[in-house]
Structure 1
């Protein structure tokens, strides 16, 4: 019987092709139940994309869960054979909370796992299949990879490495170079470790482009993991799929589960990674397995959004760089910086009702949005880059790159309250704020129990009317506080306008975005020097 593939969704047709590819590569199909005992996921929540799991009690009284992940089930059920190589692929539905809707969704996922006696040959095969999977999805794709072992060894000799680890990985994942330098300084990292970490953070490009830099770093350091990583990259450089692979140390995964090489796959026009994987020997160890393992998953639910684009990988000459600017005085200052950098757009200053403002020569397109919405436009890929305050980034924690502190709009996030108020330890502190997440994290770190009163405006009036004890809000000059017998009690962090980028858009428009960063960086340096 011949099947009419027009009856299938695009994602289903793509997954069918991937299954055939994995079968041809010697991987066996693996089927599993839709359910697992809940304890499997409760014990490994940090490994899951979302820790929200649908549970139910079966007829024997066991607490069960609809499967939110495939890898955990395969590791649990496949059997531990460290002297053999077991290769399986799957096509399964998983059940997770959708980031877009905030509700549970059934999602199609395809992928493969190589478990057991995994060496460099098996690792290279999985990387090749990941790159070929992306190529089958779209010609305009890239597989970005890094090495967690290199990052961890760069910190290994530092006294406070364990405490700083999370912040180092977070700064690398955000491409936030200034935050990375601050962490190294705050935790007293040696100059050798700090310089190596900062140098790795700036490594981004094809394998052939980055190998000379990595070899130079290896020659100047004692990092054995970097040498091993270079050997793997040498093998990739000699392969037929090398042009599809980038080295990018912003690709990080939870080091409690992953180790060695990790990677993510991006497709032009899709704002999130459509493929994710790597070596997960530490997960195997946590599950009392002696085998090594490497694998990846393709998130098929994202594939419906792929259009019929061109065949050329990367940024096309006719592409516009979409730039989201915050409405108001801050946005006007930011646009002036872009204009001085050579990205002017005269129509943006005209009295008109246009929604978009384009410069065809520079291939840039501007649009104004509410300041608190800039990060949403960038994270979801409607804008490639944008500028928003650190307060917004801290509150909503969008999955974006934080590329540059522009120095504009400087102020601070602070706790403020009546002059005569003093907190009594052991009591519940009432906190009025529109930055609820910031307040919760701040007081959790101090071990203080709080009652959050979320307000959208007129925050300063809350303690004066007895609605709250203190507020957490933005303070610029402090004049409003002083005029109402309020004062800053604690400063939480400094705020300024940051240039952010969508992670996928940066992969395909890196040269154009880096050019903007370089020119804006020069302006911020000149401004600092003038002071």
Structure 2
């Protein structure tokens, strides 16, 4: 019998499972007393139920009839499906669920793909009282579970579009700027902002407008009627939290992306700084049934992560009281050496890296930073697991990996180009399918797909230049800086695929946990990069 579990799965038993049962029992009892109706939907759903679900990392299955199925990655859309197929005597409903969701992770990443969520859905209520009620329930649970450092972060699915609409941008620029803001991509935002005449000065650092910085910008938006309506709602939520939960900090994120396309208004998240992760997340979605029937139904829903509650309980008193360093994960070798002077100029003490010898972990004397040196392909994994807060690695490495962290800055070191290279007589548009050797199959696939070309890719780990020389391939996609290696192997550049340089990634939780410090570093780096460009 094979005893090995499927990748990303786990057995639960003993005290930890008893603990989870205790948590879910308390949640059920509280919500039953409040008059909420429990609902349980199946693990397996029709793929069509999740047509508007943004995350594509889901498990796909087939039933006996060959129909496409998935393991549910979300519990809100199954509730919407249920509501669309069951006639309700009263549109006003209060539902709650407790169940597992499944999201596909990278193979051997060390991440679990199954987690338990509890959540509430306030159906049919279009008043702002629903947002207040939902937040109150979540903060009440945090209090009952003795989670003392939860921080409420408010945003709105409409905000960025409303502000950009006032700038009267063309469609493509609007979309590109919104994408840069949501991804907190400061480098891309700076480039796009420069194209806009009379861009509002108070929004010059829009991607970093979260926390206290977000609140400062928020007050300057009051002249916009629609935005004023949004901020007035935030103030109502903040006042409620301060009145009934005085120890809870409330802040805003003016650059937040909507969690899913069906969100239409206020977004409410509960963040635990010591963990660097969210306890609860949700908000308003008044197009809940749009995917199932013409009738639209206002709703507010919030999900509560059970594993986060357990993780908070497992924290020691040391974790809660001791200041933790910001962990920077650097690609070993050229990436680390090239970026070190830039980090030092931005105010980070890089002295521990001056004489690394055989060490791989380095702490600054003041305890503010910890540096970890890893192979470039491992940088993102350290951020995925919450071990690293900031990752610095080449964009070539990032392009080949699934990563959900903020690509904040192009540090402009290690600059090179992705190119198509081949012998001089190479022609892509032949009747014979061309063979392309590369270390970068994702980059190559996107390039040829965008061109509408059908090629056969050959993944190589060694010197890809050997491909055309030995007859293994007709051409290659590879990185070049000077072109010397290509010329030495009698290859020519036939096209430029894209630019390569070192980038700075920041884990979403780290931006909130170390807001002041990381914002200052990003601002310092942005200034240094501008000065270098203008020289």
TM-score after normalising by structure 1:
0.84
* CA positional deviation for 1:34: 4.3
Aligned partners of 1:430, 1:218: CA distance in 2, in Å? Answer: 58
* CA positional deviation for 1:156: 4.2
Residue equivalent to 1:73: 78
Aligned partners of 1:450, 1:292: CA distance in 2, in Å? Answer: 48
1:214 equivalenced with 2:214 (yes/no): no
Where does 1:72-471 land on structure 2 (aligned, <5 Å)? 72-78=77-83, 79=86, 84-99=91-106, 101=108, 106-133=114-141, 136=145, 138-156=147-165, 160-161=170-171, 163=172, 167-182=176-191, 191=197, 200-206=206-212, 210-219=214-223, 223-241=224-242, 243-253=248-258, 256-268=261-273, 270=275, 273-288=278-293, 289-301=295-307, 303-306=309-312, 307-310=314-317, 318-350=323-355, 352-424=357-429, 428-471=433-476
3-state SS, counterpart of residue 175 of structure 1: coil
Contact 2:122 2:130 in 1 (8 A): yes
Contact 2:132 2:240 in 1 (8 A): no
Contact 1:211 1:233 in 2 (8 A): no
TM-score after normalising by structure 2:
0.83
Contact 2:157 2:267 in 1 (8 A): yes
Contact 1:423 1:429 in 2 (8 A): yes
* Paired positions, count: 511
Residue equivalent to 1:472: 477
String of CA shifts for 1:368-395, please: whole Å, max 9, x gaps. 1112222221232211112111222222
Aligned partners of 1:205, 1:65: CA distance in 2, in Å? Answer: 37
Aligned partners of 1:300, 1:246: CA distance in 2, in Å? Answer: 23
- Of residues 128-137 and 336-345 in structure 1, the stretch that sits farther from structure 2 once superposed is 128-137
Contact 1:430 1:469 in 2 (8 A): yes
* CA positional deviation for 1:517: 2.1
Partner residue of 1:506 out of 508, 511, 514: 511
String of CA shifts for 1:155-185, please: whole Å, max 9, x gaps. 4475742x56664454233210222344567
Residue equivalent to 2:9: none
* CA positional deviation for 1:235: 0.8
Where does 1:21-60 land on structure 2 (aligned, <5 Å)? 21-36=30-45, 38=46, 40-41=48-49, 44=51, 46-47=53-54, 50-57=57-64
Contact 2:411 2:502 in 1 (8 A): yes
3-state SS, counterpart of residue 46 of structure 1: coil
Distance 1:229 1:80, change over 3 A: farther
Distance 1:432 1:198, change over 3 A: farther
Contact 2:209 2:254 in 1 (8 A): yes
* CA positional deviation for 1:40: 4.0
* CA positional deviation for 1:63: 7.0
Distance 1:426 1:169, change over 3 A: farther
Contact 1:139 1:312 in 2 (8 A): no
- Of residues 338-347 and 428-437 in structure 1, the stretch that sits farther from structure 2 once superposed is 338-347
3-state SS, counterpart of residue 503 of structure 2: strand
Task: In structure 1, list runs of 5 or more residues that go unmatched.
Answer: none
Task: In structure 2, list runs of 5 or more residues that go unmatched.
Answer: 1-13
Contact 1:428 1:450 in 2 (8 A): yes
* CA positional deviation for 1:331: 0.7
3-state SS, counterpart of residue 122 of structure 2: strand
Contact 2:238 2:250 in 1 (8 A): no
